[in-house]
Amino acid sequence: MATMPLPSELPIIQAPMAGGPSTPELTAAVGRAGGFGFLAAGYLTPDQLVATIAETRALGDAPFGVNIFFPSTPSDVAPVRRYAELIQPESDRLGVALGDPHWDDDDFGDKLEIVASEQVSMVSFTFGCPDPAAVDRLHRAGCRVAVTVTSVAEARIAEQADADLVVVQGTEAGGHQSSFVDLAPNLRPLSTLLGEIGGSTTVPLVGSGGIMSGTHIAEVLGMGAVGVQLGTAFLCADEAGTSATYRRALLDRTYDDTMLTRAFSGRYARGLANRFAVTYSDAAPEAYPEVHFLTRPLRSAATRAGDPGTPNLWAGQGWRSAATGPVAAIMGRLASELEAGGTPGR
C-alpha cells in the first residue's frame, strides 16, 4: 500500500456526523480497529467540545481528528419567516414551538483555539476553508488540516491555504453537502470529482460519498485517493449515538430512497426521503443555520416520539448496506474486503 498522510494503519476515516451519531466511543473504536476517527464539533458548545476530546482520549491512545463548521454569512430573514409560516402546522401537530431562526458562527474562533491547544491530530473543515494564517496556527500546534470540497475551485482554495488533505465529497454522500457556497446542489459523483480535482491539485485526496464496502474502498484508492471517508457505514454501529427512530428507519427500509433537500437546515443535505423532506423541499430557503434552528424543536420532538417522518435522517446513497454490530466487526469486514479487492500498491 502506498504511504498515506494518515496516522492510521488503514486508509479508512470515520466521517464526523454532528447532531448525535458521532460519539467518543465511536471515534475511539474506529481508532482501535486501525482506522482514523473524527469527532464532530458542530453544534457543541466549547465546553462540550473540550469534554468530548477528553472522553475520547480516555478511551484509548489512537490519534483522532475534530471537524469544525466554517461559518456562513447571515441570511435574509424574509424567506425564513415565510418558511416558518408554512411549517407552523408541524409545530401545532407536535405541540412544540418553532425555534428561533438566528444566525451564529458555531463558536468558530473558540473551537479553533481549543483544537490547537489540545493539539489534536487533525482538524477538518466543512462549508469553507480557513485563511492561511489559521491553517498556519494549527500547523504550529502540530495539527494536520483537511478541507472538504465539492469542486476544483474549492480544492484550489484549500491548496492555497496550505491544507494537508482535501476530502473530495461526491453527491452520493449523506448529510450536508460541503460546498463553500450553497447556491445549488452538488450533483457530481465522486468518481468524476476525483478525476477533475486530482488533475488540478497536488494535495493528497480523500474520497467520500456512498462508500460502504472494502471493494468500493479499493476502487476509490485506485482512482488516486490516499484514503476514504465513511459516515453512513457507521450510523448503525453499537458505538454510534444514532437515535432509535433513525436506526429503525434505516434498518427497516422505511423509505425507498434518499434525496437532497434544504428542508431541515437551509443547506443542501442528503437524507432519507421522508414526509417532511418531500413536502417542504421546494419551499425551503437558502438560510443556514437559521432554518436549522427553526426546525430543531420539531425534529427533536418527533425523534423522541418515534416519528421518522419529521426529523432529518441523513444517509448516503449506499444506506441499504448499513450494518449493525460493534465497530470492530464493521472495520474487520471492510479491511478483509479491501485486502481481497487488491488495494493498489500491494
Mean pLDDT of 280-300: 98
Residues of the chain with CATH 3.20.20.70: 1-71+106-241+320-346
Q: Is the per-residue pLDDT at 273 higher than 70?
A: yes
Mean pLDDT of 320-342: 94
Mean pLDDT of 40-63: 98
When pLDDT is cut at 50, 70 and 90, the band that residue 86 belongs to is very high
* Percent of the chain residues topping a pLDDT of 70: 97
CA distance 83 to 98: 11
> E strands of 23-182, at which residues?
36-40, 64-69, 122-126, 144-149, 165-169, 175-176
Copy the grid coordinates of residue 35. Answer: 482506522
Type of residue numbered 69: F
CA distance 32 to 36: 9
> Higher pLDDT residue, 306 or 344?
306
The mean pLDDT value of the chain amounts to: 96
When pLDDT is cut at 50, 70 and 90, the band that residue 306 belongs to is very high
pTM for this model (two decimals): 0.95
- The pLDDT tens digits of the residues spanning 166-195 come to 999 999 999 999 999 999 999 999 999 999
Q: Give pLDDT, residue 89.
A: 98
Q: Give pLDDT, residue 323.
A: 94
- The pLDDT tens digits of the residues spanning 215-252 come to 999 999 999 999 999 999 999 999 999 999 999 999 99
Report cis status (omega within 30 of 0) of the bond before 289. yes
Q: Is the per-residue pLDDT at 2 higher than 90?
A: no
What CATH number is given for 1-71+106-241+320-346 in this structure? 3.20.20.70
Asked if 264 and 312 touch (Cβ cutoff 8 Å), the reply is yes
Copy the grid coordinates of residue 112. Answer: 479553533
